[in-house]
Structure formats: structure tokens, C-alpha cells
């Protein structure tokens, strides 16, 4: 693992949550982006060397909609940046972690992402992410 990349927070209302985090952090988000494949709209804030990602569902079948319905708003996942997501996925599998993806997929903020099932990570949904180098 390279570093803590971001903390993902599931929210009901992205606009209201943006305003709250702008006040909390004293800065505006630097990016709002929709990830259609995941049925989610995101907003990113810088927090020192890391980021805060706010996630709002854009469809009732999205993982975020289900999360908010079941648990309410709050921390959804913690993401770690890695140098080589394929190697890290192999390492995680070899150590017995259950991955939610067979292959990394394109996520928000120009990243390839893969998730580790919370059942194998002390109840925490962990995201591995790697910047896409084009």
C-alpha cells in the first residue's frame, strides 16, 4: 500500500453535503463527477495529503442507495492508493482476502479500483485504487 487515498462517505443529498463539507474543511470541492456504471455521483475534497469523497446514489439499485437505506449516511469505505493494482489484488487473494471484483474497474477521479469484502477486513469496505496512466 502506498498511502491513504481517500475516505468515502455515503450521503443522501450531495448538494447539502457539499455545503456542509465546504464549511467543515474551509474549502470547496475540486471535482464533481458521475460514475454511470456505479449509479453514483461523487464530489471530492482535499484533506491534506488525502481526500474526502462524497457519494450520492443516482439510482435505487446502486450500492450507495442500498447502503444509505440500510445504515444511513456515513463512512462507506476507506481507499488506499497502490502502485500496481493487479499485483496488490493477487497479494490480497493469496493472503485470503475476498475481493469483490475479479478485475479492477474504472472508478471516479481517474482511478482503477477494486474492493475488498468487509467480511475479510474487520467489517471495513476497503478500496484499492491506482491512478490511470494514459
pLDDT tens column, 76-117 = 999 999 999 999 999 999 999 999 999 999 999 999 999 999
Check: CB of residue 14 under 8 Å from CB of residue 90: no
The model's pLDDT over 30-64, given as tens digits with 9 standing for 90+, comes to 999 999 999 999 999 999 999 999 999 999 999 99
Measured distance CA(50)–CA(25) in Å, rounded: 13
Instruction: Work out the average pLDDT over 68-82.
Output: 96
Q: Is the confidence at residue 134, as pLDDT, over 90?
A: no
CB atoms < 10 A from the CB of 41, how many? 20
Measured distance CA(21)–CA(26) in Å, rounded: 8
pLDDT, mean over the chain: 95
The model's pLDDT over 18-39, given as tens digits with 9 standing for 90+, comes to 999 999 999 999 999 999 999 9
What pLDDT shows up at residue 133? 85
| Residue owning grid cell 470541492 | 29
DSSP state of 124: -
Amino acid at each position: 500500500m502506498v498511502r491513504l487515498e481517500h475516505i468515502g462517505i455515503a450521503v443522501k443529498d450531495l448538494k447539502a453535503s457539499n455545503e456542509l463539507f465546504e464549511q467543515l474543511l474551509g474549502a470547496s470541492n475540486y471535482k464533481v463527477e458521475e460514475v454511470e456504471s456505479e449509479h453514483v455521483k461523487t464530489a471530492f475534497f482535499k484533506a491534506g495529503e488525502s481526500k474526502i469523497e462524497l457519494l450520492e446514489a443516482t439510482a435505487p439499485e446502486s450500492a450507495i442507495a442500498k447502503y444509505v437505506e440500510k445504515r444511513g449516511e456515513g463512512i462507506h469505505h476507506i481507499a488506499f492508493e497502490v502502485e500496481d493494482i493487479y499485483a496488490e489484488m493477487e497479494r490480497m487473494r493469496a493472503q485470503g482476502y475476498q475481493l469483490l471484483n475479479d478485475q479492477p474497474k474504472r472508478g471516479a477521479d481517474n482511478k482503477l479500483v477494486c474492493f475488498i469484502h468487509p467480511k475479510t477486513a474487520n467489517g471495513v469496505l476497503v478500496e484499492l485504487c491506482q491512478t490511470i496512466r494514459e
